[in-house]
Structure 1
């Protein structure tokens, strides 16, 4: 376990400079990517049973997640080696999770746009790929690290290997799918992801994992740049390419800080979105009635008359409150 460390001024300046470069790449590159996606006709296909107000989004370019995956990756590859522990296990796991889950999402998005449907990868293949990557990342982590989870009160829980593998399996598959479910309102998923990443940035700094914190910060800068083009009315969507990548990154950050259970608090809105979908489907199958006007949860509030920006503002606020709580819990756990 790393000890608390003070970030040097030079490291802080380098990370900030790298983040600003990512932001500059996003602001300069997104319009070009949007035009290119338009040219390729890689547009969103809205569900027939979806909200009427969302029908006009059909044709809006998707796969915008490519930008905030590639920009942080390229900048880290170019300048990250200047940071202490630039290519340690934490950095590798974060990057493999981010790019790996993004690749699964890209394949799904690509099939959707070329087939002009919402089917994409077969659910079994998609989940299978997510599961395999989760197990691979967990065993990479276990190569030299004890399966421990930090709890408030500075308690170290020595988890049996079999249980830890099971927990991480659900951590990665659950997080990637939960973040994906929240990507249904302009700007919502990107904003929620920025907020959820912040506690893990601080946790990594407190643990002396400078390179890991730097990667998360670069992704945050990438998402800030992406939001300029994704806020309502969105000019581009991240697609599964972006949402699965963000979920995988969050899960990897939780695992590498030994704060796996903290993701439940830091990502509270993702949890609520997932539970609303599960509850709706389960209840409807048993009763043929609905609890929510529409699931996931953000669509329920849209049906109640909330604008997309109001949904974002309220959901971001709740996420921020619980991110603050999770940051305090992290401080008392490390």
Structure 2
């Protein structure tokens, strides 16, 4: 995949998002698909109530169109491409149902945790068996070493854990304007570069398409956001990012590339454990981006710092693996 092909891929998906957003956002507003804000959240977030959500539909559509179109153009539509689209659409559909129940049916909790988990597991298993139709490596590589070990038949359990875990990690991180859009774009570009290094053009096309679509969406999602991605977008992104890491066979590298998502999730886990065992909270509020808000940081500063951390982690991986 040449540099020009890479630029074309990013530009096409970016342009699609930029074109779709002004069409979709007014429709979401007209249908009263406005975000409801948790009362227990930071008080400063109450002004965001009513901002259109389910904006993930914008970049999901862009990704589908650009991935299929460019894969055909470059003659690179493969089983792996299809699996990535299944994860994107499947996890996005679960998020859409969750958003729809919250926003339209006015049930604040949306889908139950069990309902979401069952849906995610089913889609993950479907993806696994599609991959097993061809040669599929069930080993895990230790980052920055030549060491790997095979999980054999237990790999399916790891795959489910990885997809469910990171889809929910990205979902937890989606609490500030532009935070996930920017951080995820950097992560997908990183794995696209790794895919190119391993001559996996089909995966690179998908990952660059996601990055371009997110950058286009970010124009409308940055502070002050005109639209939120909702669970529709965050679950789709998290599941897709995990699957890209699996297909590139750099699964554990995602812990570094997606360090922001990992830290956000750990902050929630530690907060719950601490409160249930000692009755005390480690953070003023979790996920950790809310802790910084309540510590006096403004939203733009938090997002900028988190983007920077994600970028440094991504550059470290690229320098170690590619250069």
Q: Please classify the TM superposition score into its range, dividing by the shorter chain length.
A: over 0.9
Deviations 1:42-61 (A, max 9, x none): 01011111111001111100
- Within the candidate set 268, 275, 291, 2:282 is matched to 291
- Within the candidate set 125, 140, 151, 2:130 is matched to 140
Give the conservation status (yes or no) of the 8 Å contact 1:104–1:129.
yes
TM-score, normalisation: structure 1: 0.92
Q: In the alignment, is residue 102 of structure 1 matched against residue 92 of structure 2?
A: yes
- Separation of aligned partners in 1, 2:82 and 2:244: 11
- Separation of aligned partners in 1, 2:38 and 2:53: 14
**For the structure 1 residues 157 and 42, does the alpha-carbon distance in structure 2 shift closer, same or farther, using more than 3 Å as the test?**
same
Q: CA deviation at 1:214?
A: 1.0
TM-score, normalisation: structure 2: 0.95
RMSD over aligned Cα, in angstroms?
Answer: 1.7
Give the conservation status (yes or no) of the 8 Å contact 2:81–2:203.
yes
Q: In the alignment, is residue 93 of structure 1 matched against residue 83 of structure 2?
A: yes
Deviations 1:248-305 (A, max 9, x none): 1111111101111111111011000000001111111122221100000000000011
- Within the candidate set 153, 178, 198, 2:189 is matched to 198
Give the conservation status (yes or no) of the 8 Å contact 2:143–2:252.
no
Aligned to 2:25: 34
- Separation of aligned partners in 2, 1:298 and 1:151: 29
What 5-or-longer segments of structure 2 have no aligned partner?
none
SS at match of 2:104: helix
What 5-or-longer segments of structure 1 have no aligned partner?
1-6
- Separation of aligned partners in 2, 1:259 and 1:283: 32
- Within the candidate set 20, 25, 28, 2:16 is matched to 25
**For the structure 1 residues 273 and 152, does the alpha-carbon distance in structure 2 shift closer, same or farther, using more than 3 Å as the test?**
closer
Q: CA deviation at 1:14?
A: 3.8
- Separation of aligned partners in 1, 2:245 and 2:203: 11
- How many residues were matched structurally? 322
- Within the candidate set 194, 203, 206, 1:215 is matched to 206
- Within the candidate set 214, 231, 235, 1:244 is matched to 235
Give the conservation status (yes or no) of the 8 Å contact 1:43–1:59.
yes
SS at match of 1:115: coil
Q: In the alignment, is residue 274 of structure 1 matched against residue 265 of structure 2?
A: yes
